[in-house]
Amino acid sequence: MKVILLKDIKGTGKKGDVIEASDGHARNFLFPRKLAKPATDGNMSALTHQKKSEDKKNAEALAAANALAEKINGLTVTFKAQSGDGGRLFGSITSKDIAAKLKKDHGVEIDKKKMVMDGPIKLIGCETIKIKVYPKVAASLKVVVENE
C-alpha cells in the first residue's frame, strides 16, 4: 500500500515522502497515529501543490537572505574601548555587543547566535566575522576596535 508520510519517522522516511508500506503496518500503526495518509489521487495532488508552495517560500527566503548578505558584506562596525599594555582590552566585545551596534548604527537586525566567532574580541585591531544569514548563505562583517 502506498502512503504519504505526514511526519518524519526514523528509519522509514521524511515528511512528504511517498513510501510503500505493508497493509497491516499502514492500517494498524501509521493511520491511527496520524503519521501517514493513503496515497490517493486527491492526496497526491494536494502533496504536489504543497511542495510547490514550499519551494516558492524557500526561494523567496533565499532571495531575501542573499539581499541581506550583500548589505552586510559592505558594512563596518567600529568600537571604542579602553585597553592596557599590548592592546589588550579591559573587557571584551561579544557577539551580543556587535549585534546591538549593528542594529543601532546601520539598522540591520541580526541574531547574535548567527555570528561565527572563536570567542569574544579581546584585542585592539580589525577582525572579520562570518555571519550565517541562511543555510548556505553567509556574510562577512568587518569589526574595528580602537583605543578610547
| pLDDT at 85 > cutoff 90 | no
Q: How does pLDDT run across 97-109, given as a tens digit for each residue? A: 999 999 999 998 9
Is 0.75 surpassed by the pTM of this model? no
What are the pLDDT digits (tens) for 7-62? 999 988 999 999 999 999 999 999 999 999 999 999 999 999 999 999 999 999 99
DSSP string, 85-148: GGGEEEEEE-HHHHHHHHHHHH-----GGGEE-SS-EEESEEEEEEEEEETTEEEEEEEEEEE-
Domain boundaries, the chain: 2-63, 66-147
Residue with cell 512528504: 16
User: For the chain, what is the mean pLDDT?
Assistant: 92
The matching CATH number, chosen from 3.40.47.10, 3.40.640.10, 3.90.550.10, 3.10.430.100, for 66-147 is: 3.10.430.100
What is the CATH number assigned to the segment(s) 2-63? Answer: 3.40.5.10
Rounded to an integer, what is the distance from CA 85 to the centroid of its chain? 39
Please write the tens of the pLDDT for every residue from 54-83. 999 999 999 999 999 999 998 999 999 998
